[in-house]
Amino acid sequence: MAQRDRIAALILGAFLCLGLVILGQQLGSAAIRFKEYDRSVTVKGLSEHEYPADIVIWPIQFTVTSNDLEDLYNRIEQDSAKIGAFLLARGILASEITPAIPDISDRSAQRYSSSDGAEFRYIAVQSLTLYSSRIDEVRSVMNGLMELGKQGITFGSGDYQARPQYLFTRLNEVKPKMIEEATRQAREVAQKFAEDSASKLGKIRKASQGQFSIDDRDANNPHIKQVRVVSTVEYYLSD
């Protein structure tokens, strides 16, 4: 009986030792796999394209001076009519033109300034804002505005608010393609890194999309927009 118990204990001990060996191997393999998955590389992919603007906002500002308020308003109406007729004759639609309320300054009413020596008491700044999706047509009209200057209309060009503004509103249309391109470029960079380090590129561990930026291509071509996005992707590496 004692001999039988001793044999059973030896068999049980052998199984326990075998189980511990197998468990140790499994734990070691898991640790190795965990270490492999802990290796990663973070790369960035860039997508950059030029697109034409699709909206132009053009504030046309002109100034009128007079010593008589009624005469001032009459001249504002006359010059506004001339500009409107000029635009309509060149294909601009009436619905694309919006007049603003004139900004009139009375020099004699200004507290800290004197109208002594000033040629005119009243100065008015009037704006007609053109909002259009026909960029080329509007730019062509801009080049011919000098004709109205020869008719005695004084345009304001130095004011920042009078500069044309170009918008690109089709970002949602180009987003998917640019994100795909940036992600593909990031993977190409990660693949090259993996090859150089004698590793294999694994799945994506983490990814983040940067913000899209829309800027003028340069100061002389604000109607051409440069759209840019950078994607950051982290990949697993393995031996």
pLDDT for the residue 23:
41
pLDDT, tens only, 9-52? 555 555 455 444 454 454 344 333 444 556 888 999 999 999 99
Q: How many separate helices (H) and strands (E) can be counted in the chain?
A: 5, 10
Kindly indicate whether the domain formed by 55-166 is annotated with CATH number 3.30.70.2970: yes
Burial class of residue 34, CB neighbours in 10 A (0-12, 13-18, 19+): exposed
Please identify, in words, the CATH class of the domain defined by 40-54+168-239.
alpha beta
Residue 237 has pLDDT above 80, yes or no: yes
Q: For residue 71, which amino acid is it?
A: D
- Alpha-carbon distances of 141 from 61, 131, 138, rounded to whole Å: 15, 13, 5
Residue 174: which residues within 8 A CB-CB, separation 6 or more?
A: 49, 51, 227
pLDDT for the residue 224:
97
Residue 70 has pLDDT above 60, yes or no: yes
- Alpha-carbon distances of 223 from 97, 216, 217, rounded to whole Å: 20, 7, 8
pLDDT, tens only, 118-163? 688 999 999 999 999 999 999 999 888 888 888 888 887 555 567 8
Domain boundaries, the chain: 1-38, 40-54+168-239, 55-166
Q: Which residues of 215-233 are buried (b: 16+ CB within 10 A; e: fewer)?
A: eeeeeeebbbbbbbbbbeb
> Would the CATH topology of 40-54+168-239 be identical to that of 55-166?
no
